[in-house]
Structure formats: structure tokens, C-alpha cells
Structure 1
């Protein structure tokens, strides 16, 4: 695609580059303006001395004088106060031309001076200047335009802080089979256990599980244990096996693991074995009472 036909938004590539060059000059002027405000504010209200412990200035110590300054120049008190602090973190000889006020403000939180001054001089990835997101990544802060999977996860968590939003997002995501398939087995178990604390939910879930289990439960080998009614006949009766039983060497009592139906143990752990055994008995009883259901 030629430069004449390639567009950025509604403008050509060449016009876009002209706008960028113009606005970089504007941003540089704004940066210098912010630093000027930050340099003048300490003349009115000097920064407090810092010792071994960071001194936290009480609001009343600076609000009256800096508040008046903010009113007289049409800014908010916090804008002036923050400009004063950022300027104090960047002596004039360590301010980097071409880097925005926003980048200087974010990196101002680097506590070690030598590290702070070296960081502003070395943009990542061979760039000539940092973006605001580059500075936020350096500080471990949330970015505006997430790129990595972890940044996207952090953005989702930030947006889903309210329980109602989190519930809606979770519901929508779990409707996507490819998402549900990637959820670890242990997490699925925990979700099922948590959701089935509600008795009505547990009853509905159990109904579905029993329907799924019914075909397998009609085969005693899948059930893993015998109902008392099954002891009337057959060479593998549990009472016979317990006494030494018939000649069939394969006849034996089921192990504890075999005694639980597979479709239920997929959703339970060792702390719920008693529930599993009870579910097996109830399931077999239902199947026998309603064989054609």
C-alpha cells in the first residue's frame, strides 16, 4: 500500500506524522510548564526535610499557601502540590528532554535516586522515548493498553471488582467451551462445591448427575457395590465372598475407591466420601424404582 493511500484514522500517513511532530512540541511545552509550576511552588512552600524516615506533610501545613496559589492560577490544590513533589524528584540536570511530564511523574516514585536518574535515560526496547505504559510497566502499575496475558488479566480483575460485574463476566466466560476446558480440574471441583452450597442449586445439580450416572449404574460393575436385593442369587454374592465364597477366584469385595460411582467422585474429594456412598445407594434405589425413566 502506497503512502498516499495508507491512512491512520481519517488522515494520510504523511499528515499523521505532521500532527505527531506538532503535538510533540506541544507536549514538551506542557512538560516544561508543569516543571515550572513545580519549581515555583517550593519557593512559596518549601519541601520538608527528609531524614531516615519519609516525612509525611500534614495537609494543613501546605494547603493555605499552595491552595491560594492554585486558585490564583486556575488549578486545583492537588495539581500544584503534585507538581511540587515531582519537580523535587527531578533536579533540572536530570530531566530528560523528549520525555513527557506523565513519564517523569510515574518514574518519580522510584525511591533510589541513582536508579531513578538512570532509568529515565534508558527507554526499553531501543526506543527513543518511553510511553506512559512503558513507565507504568517499569513501576509494576496497571497499564492503559494491556498487551501481555497478565496485563489483560489484571485489567479484567480491575473492571470486575464489583460482585455483580464479576458474576456476569464469569458466567459469560464459562459459556465458552474452550474456556471451560482450560480450567484446572481442582478449580472445577472447588467451583462446584461452592455453587452447590445453595440447596436448590445442589438439588438441580444432583438431578443432572443422577441422570448421567443411570446408564452406568444399571451395570453392577460400574456401581462397585451390591444392593441388598442383589444378594438373593448369583455366584458373586457379597456374603459368599466374605465367607470365602464360590470357586470363582475373581470374586472379591469392592475396594473403597470402587465403591463410589465414577460420575460423582469426579466432583468430590476425600472429605466427601460419606456423601458419595449415600449418593450411590440413593441412585441405585431410584434406578430400580424407575427403570424406564
Structure 2
């Protein structure tokens, strides 16, 4: 068994977040036609098993020899886009829109990312029918880093992310009862993508799910996309959740974009404000969550 086959067997996590309906041959052909490229066979092998979603912890990081805005020695590969049109889930088919929204190069197909940075199939050298390389693109700094000569090699190089929490929140992580924060965050993200948290979910997790639904939409497609893709009641819930976590400025930013919801240029002009409020790797958001969980553990089902 090759290393690719070994990784393929345990590549996907159990999380439903980010999944598209099971892939069909017709959907794969339609995607290649829409994107104007031949997708790598190795990528399709993974998508036949599960059509996008969260990558298992063992394979959610790719080591790098050069530093990036993400880390000194690796980039994340935590969630892979599938092929489909499930609401609130990004898809390979969203590439043309996202490339334009985030001012990325032409002739690429996005695989994973959050708006600040992306991992993509890079067809600039291979041409649309060739075997693309895999490249990291930083939308904030307009830089890029070649990762692997082809997608199969990229998968074979994946490893577990062994990084520790950031210095700003290390003290919070050490407090008793907060070892479940990763799990809480992931559940909230799943509930946000699904639309509703199950009955009986602790209120803090419910609030986080409201916030993450709109946040993840904005990270994928920009503020204009987030306002367009989410119903007014979801936007209101998200803004209330932002205030619950002490992120009033973020709520005011969303309110401003809603007020100008027919002005796409205004929404685009405020994307930089969003990045400034969230900080590198969305640290303002993650810190607010961890501090709230430390201050009000019962709201998150913590002891």
C-alpha cells in the first residue's frame, strides 16, 4: 500500500461540516467543464469517499521550509472544498467568484482557505489539462509559496498540526475545565453550517454557532457574500452573539454592511476593516471565545 492509499483510508474526520452531497461522475464532469480544467485523479479519489469537509487531525497540516503568515514551519489544511452547491458550504465551483473577491491569480482552483489565505491547485505552468502543482496564497500580503509538484505528492506530505496555543491565550488554556475548547469550537462551527444547534445545547455554544456561521461566510466570500447568503434573522443573531463575546465593533461593522446591502463596492471596501478587527489568524475572535469560556464556563457546558 502506498503512502497516499494509507492517508486516503483515514483522511476525513467524522465532522459533517463542509460536506457536499455524494459525488457523482456527472457532477465531476460538470465541475471540470465549469472550471475549465482537468481535476487531479488523486483529488477525485478523496472526493469519491467524501465530497469535501473536515480533514482528520492526523493530516491537517503541510510542513514548509519557508515561514508564512500562518506559521514558521507549516500551513493548515483543515477543510477541503467539495463539488456541489450546499448553502453556506464553500465549493470548488466557487473558485471564480472567490478569486475575484480576494484578488488571487487566474488559472487556479481553490481547495481550502478562509479569505486570508488559500491552498489551491495551480494550473499556471501545467495548463488546464495538465497536472497542477499545489500553492499557498496569502491574500493579505499578496504573496505565494509553492508547496508540492502535484496533489498526490501534497497529500503524501501531510502531517498532524503539533502547534501549541498562541501566547495571548495560553493562560486561559491552562485554566481547569477548558481542555474541551477545541471540541466546543468545532461543534459550534458544525451547528452554524447546519443552521441550528440541537435542542439543549449550552447557550454559549449556541451563540458561538450563530457567530461562526456569518464569520465563515465572510471569510470565504467577503462581507457582501455573508450578508447576501444569510437571512436577516441569522445576521441579527450573529450580531447579538458578537456583543455577547465582547466584539461590539464587529457587530457594528456587520450592521454597516447590512445598511448598505445593495452597494457591493461598500461591502468590499470594508473587508480590510474586518481583517483589522479580527487580527492575524482571527485571533481576536478565538481569544474572545476562550476568555468568555473561562469567565462563564457553565454557558459552554464546562465545569
Normalised-by-shorter TM-score class: under 0.3
Larger RCO of the pair (alpha carbons < 8 Å, separation 6+) = 2
Structure that is richer in helix per residue? 1
Structure that is richer in strand per residue? 2
